[in-house]
Amino acid sequence: MMDTIGFGVVAGVSVVSALYVVRSANLIHAVLWLALTLLASAVLYAMLEAPFLAGVQVLTYVGGVVTLMIFGVMLTQRHDGTVAAASNVRNWAGVAAAIALCTLLFVAVGRSDLTTGTPPPATTTTEIGRSLLDEHLVAFEALSLLLLAAIVGAVVLARRKDHEAGDATVPTSPPSARRGAE
Amino acid sequence: MNVHVRSLVLAVVVVSTVLALTTFAIWFERKFAGRMQSRLGPTRVGPVGLLQPVADAFKLMQKESIRPANADWALFNLAPLLAAVCALGAAAVVPLAPGLAAADVDLGVLFVLAIGAVTVLPVFIAGWSSNNKFALLGGMRAIAQSISYEVPLLLAALVPIILSGSMNLSEIVRQQAEGHWIAVWPFFLGIPAFAIFLLAMLAESNRIPFDIPEAESELVAGVTTEYTGMKFALFYLAEYAHTLIASALGAALFLGGWDGPFGPGLHWLLLKTFVLFGSVYWVRWTLLRFRSDQLLRICWTWLVPAGVVLVMGAGAWVAWGPLP
């Protein structure tokens, strides 16, 4: 009973905040609503007895991704009284895509067997670690190689821009941030 | 139901204790700073000025609550509350005594780090919603600092996790009580990791020398520029509570928590917490504030590589080192 009420509240928060993410005209508001959505899904993970996933969700998404998004919005938008406006024009293609996705998810959830399930082990961290470095080792290492390549690429791009821009053009980031990034 | 009642009682007790200790900590800092500068500190209210924080609280309650005309009122009012909640949330998993923690969760360290990662959001919200350029600059600095210092914080916290093979704070403390404190043995891993953890925690709670988000000589009062009365008091409280809880976590992760000679217990945790807390203020009243580019450079060129080396060292120690 308590679980059902709790699930209802958390699911409601997650859906309503997700709606506000796409409804907000102000980009910062949208990002903050997104943080709430992500927190609500972390709570859902915790309720499904996947505490590790919940913790990592908060750590990476709310702490990392949302923070980076805010940083990006602040660096690219001016804040002189004008709001950082996001366009939310009604778009029939978007509606069609949303309906298609919803149908797909509905069918997929309907077809998967959610009734049976073994109770999760007491400490999932060990199991996750073992399966990542044993069963899925190749995929895991390929992923880290990809991320490393992305980081190196980002550094190369940032450096080239610095050299080409010279002193004449306005830097895209404040001097302190650029110096710190080097 | 019994479990729920127990959790509720512990939650109320822990939060009230942290708040009471925080008030005392404010008195302690003022006295400590006074002595360091050959002053007496507060002396007028109560014996040796002990009631000064109470007087401060009454003063702040009487102040008018001002909201700038163009501020984003919902976020402006939400930020102080969120700051206080984030700061107090981490207290839940601190192991207080053998077998006693408000919430004895298996992934306590992960929980603390997750809360720490969210802590920057209220600071940014406060800076952005004030619609004040100084507050906004403070918020931007807070975000840049938090993105950077989260990496060494995670790496430093991984060292005790790897060495004890558990993410449960109570379990980490228990293993230290049975064996060695992590800062004592292996000290060449424990002490540097402890230092990085403390530095990164200080950076996350925006204390000097890492308080560039509210650098008063450059940014008026940074993110708190537009806040008055109890809203400002909540930020103030959150900052002290965060430092206090960070000290308690450092004590639990590296200094054996409640363990000590002449019987383990809460008193040892409190003692270690206050020693760490005192050293934070020692640093605060000794050193100057870093420039923000210096701050980021220290993080990325020193702390992060050192953290990576320590994590690798901890892995090697567990794999090939002598048995504890």
pLDDT in tens, A15-60: 999 888 888 777 788 888 898 999 999 888 888 877 888 888 888 8
Long-range CB pairs of A76-82 (<8 Å, 24+ gap) are A76/A172, A77/A27, A79/B136, A81/B70
Q: Is B19 among the domain residues?
A: no
As a whole number of Å, the CA-based R_g of chain A is 21
- Average the pLDDT over A93-113 and give the result: 88
Q: Taking an 8 Å Cβ-Cβ cutoff, which residues of chain A contact chain B?
A: 28-29, 32, 35, 39, 42, 51-52, 55-56, 58-59, 62-64, 66-68, 70-71, 74, 79, 81, 122-123, 125, 175-177, 179-181
What is the C-alpha separation between B310 and B155, in angstroms, rounded? Answer: 8
pLDDT at residue number A103? 94
Four-way CATH pick for A1-89: 3.40.50.720, 1.20.120.1200, 1.10.150.120, 1.10.40.50: 1.20.120.1200
Residue whose C-alpha is closest to residue B302's, from B200, B202, B209, B210: B200
- Distance to chain B for A114, nearest Cα, Å: 26
pLDDT category, A145, cuts 50, 70, 90? very high
Contact (CB, 8 A) for B315 and B208: no
**pLDDT at residue B158 in the model:** 87
Residues of chain B with pLDDT under 70: 1, 99, 183, 205-221, 323-324
List, in order, residues 6 or more apart from B153 with CB less than 8 Å away.
B113, B116, B196, B197, B200, B201, B204
CB atoms within 10 A of CB B216: 12
Cβ distance A101 to A45 under 8 Å?
no
Residue B324 in tokens: 């504890």
Cα of B187 to nearest chain A Cα, Å: 26
Cα–Cα distance measured from residue B74 to residue A16, given in angstroms and rounded to the nearest whole number: 17
CB–CB contacts below 8 A, A to B: 87
b/e sequence B47-75, b meaning 16+ C-beta within 10 Å: eebeebbeebeeebeeeeeebbeebbeeb
Extents of the domains making up chain A = 1-89, 122-182
Residue B47 domain-assigned (yes or no): no
Is B31 part of a structural domain of the chain? no
B53 located within any domain: no
* Residue type present at position A92: W
Give the structural domain span for B175.
71-320
Secondary structure class of B100 (helix, strand, coil): strand
CB atoms under 10 Å from CB of A177, counted, come to 18
3-state DSSP call for residue B101?
strand
User: Per residue in B187-208, pLDDT tens?
Assistant: 778 888 888 888 888 777 666 5
Task: Give the C-alpha separation, B18 to B277, whole Å.
Answer: 13
